């Protein structure tokens, strides 16, 4: 039986939470070295990439709960990924890309990077490129420092800009409640505020939090909760003071731990189980200080083909 080349591929990709972000001193090029621990969580975007006739170029459409602020032109990370793949592997970039978004936009959950990762995986399958994980990572890291992790998923330590990813062992399921703001925060603005708050301070080279890694291995959610750390949190709270009120509500309702996810403004609360997640979600919703509340579990796998047509 002959296998026909696919015309369309659907890839499902998760969002992420950073359980640790330790930010090093600002380097000469303006960036910061970081050490981060990522966990992929069960909020997904679905990216469908379909071949078009030669010469038609890229078309993009975006649907779903979270679309505000997502560009529908060549600045979309998914379109950038398609163009880069076409250039690098000498394949056509005449593609239609449909993104169904559930990952909050500009929420510190790497939604754009996730879509870029999904597009790389979709094009690999669409054109039977059979790229290795390393090859996909090297294309991904040109698009954004979170892209390599979104390809891998699970739990991982990120070094460098967060793009040098090593898988970490984690046991069990972690239950999260996420307070999502309607207005995002810009990652460069949060780093800028972090620099401002740290002016004149001696900043050490960041190290991975061993207590956190041990607790993930031991399935010890209580210690994971106590070990959550984000060096960008003060900066995100300084730019968006309402985040402190949200963190307080979670504390009051017995979250095992809480932190601003990535550069914010999503706030992630770790809870003990599904029931606790529901209780906290109700409390946050009725507090009136949160845009919307959603629940998720982690870790989950990275970008994966779910349908080939």
Residue 144 vs 153, nearer CB to ligand ATP: 144
d(CA 290, CA 183): 11
The answer to the question of residue 78 lying near ligand ATP (CB under 6 A) is yes
The answer to the question of residue 108 lying near ligand ATP (CB under 6 A) is yes
Residue 256 vs 267, nearer CB to ligand ATP: 267
* Among 30, 31, 71, 307, interactor with ligand ATP by CB under 6 A: 71
Q: 267-271 and 257-260 as β-strands: parallel, antiparallel, unpaired? A: antiparallel
Nearest Cα neighbor of 295 from 174, 181, 184 is 174
d(CA 296, CA 227): 19
Catalytic residue status for 146: yes
* Among 46, 146, 163, 231, interactor with ligand ATP by CB under 6 A: 146
Residue 215 vs 263, nearer CB to ligand ATP: 263
Stretch that binds ligand ATP, among 67-75, 88-96, 191-199, 296-304 (CB under 6 A): 67-75
d(CA 190, CA 82): 29
d(CA 308, CA 119): 14
Stretch that binds ligand ATP, among 99-107, 135-143, 239-247, 270-278 (CB under 6 A): 99-107
- Dihedral sign from CA coordinates of 180, 181, 186, 192: negative
* Among 105, 150, 156, 267, interactor with ligand ATP by CB under 6 A: 105
The answer to the question of residue 77 lying near ligand ATP (CB under 6 A) is yes
Residue 69 vs 254, nearer CB to ligand ATP: 69
Stretch that binds ligand ATP, among 50-58, 100-108, 163-171, 269-277 (CB under 6 A): 100-108
Nearest Cα neighbor of 161 from 25, 29, 35 is 35
User: What SS3 class is residue 43?
Assistant: strand
Bridge partners (DSSP) of residue 26 are: 32
Compute CA distances 280 → 15, 31, 63, 166, whole Å. Answer: 21, 36, 29, 32
d(CA 105, CA 71): 11
The answer to the question of residue 141 lying near ligand ATP (CB under 6 A) is no
Per the listing, tokens 């200080």 go with 289
* Among 30, 63, 69, 197, interactor with ligand ATP by CB under 6 A: 69
* Among 85, 263, 299, 303, interactor with ligand ATP by CB under 6 A: 263
The binding site for ligand ATP (CB under 6 A) comprises 69-71, 76-78, 99, 105-113, 115, 144, 146, 184, 187, 262-263
Residues catalogued as catalytic: 16, 146
């Amino acid at each position: 039986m002959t296998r026909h080349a696919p015309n369309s591929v659907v890839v499902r990709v998760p969002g992420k939470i950073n359980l640790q972000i330790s930010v090093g001193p600002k380097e000469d090029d303006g960036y910061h070295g970081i050490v981060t621990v990522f966990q992929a969580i069960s909020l997904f975007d679905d990216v469908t990439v379909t071949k078009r006739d030669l010469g038609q170029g890229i078309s993009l459409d975006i649907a779903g709960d979270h679309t505000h602020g997502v560009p529908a032109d060549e600045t979309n990370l998914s379109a950038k990924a398609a163009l880069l793949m076409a250039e690098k592997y000498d394949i056509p970039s005449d593609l239609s890309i449909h993104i169904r978004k559930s990952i909050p936009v500009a929420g510190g959950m790497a939604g754009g990077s996730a879509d870029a990762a999904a597009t790389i995986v979709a094009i690999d399958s669409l054109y039977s490129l059979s790229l290795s994980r390393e090859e996909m990572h090297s294309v991904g890291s040109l698009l954004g420092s979170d892209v390599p992790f979104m390809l891998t998923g699970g739990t991982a330590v990120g070094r460098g800009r967060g793009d040098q990813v090593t898988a970490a062992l984690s046991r069990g399921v972690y239950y999260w409640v996420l307070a999502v703001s309607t207005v995002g925060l810009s990652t460069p603005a949060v780093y800028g505020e972090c620099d401002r708050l740290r002016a004149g301070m001696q900043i050490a080279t960041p190290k991975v939090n061993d207590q956190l890694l041990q607790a993930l291995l031991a399935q010890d959610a209580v210690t994971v909760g106590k070990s959550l750390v984000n060096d960008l949190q003060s900066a995100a709270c300084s730019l968006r003071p309402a985040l402190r009120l949200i963190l307080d509500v979670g504390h009051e309702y017995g979250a095992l731990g809480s932190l601003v996810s990535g550069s914010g403004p999503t706030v992630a609360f770790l809870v003990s189980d599904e029931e606790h997640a529901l209780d906290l979600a109700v409390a946050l919703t009725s507090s009136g200080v949160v845009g919307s509340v959603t629940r998720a579990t982690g870790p989950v796998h990275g970008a994966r083909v779910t349908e080939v047509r």
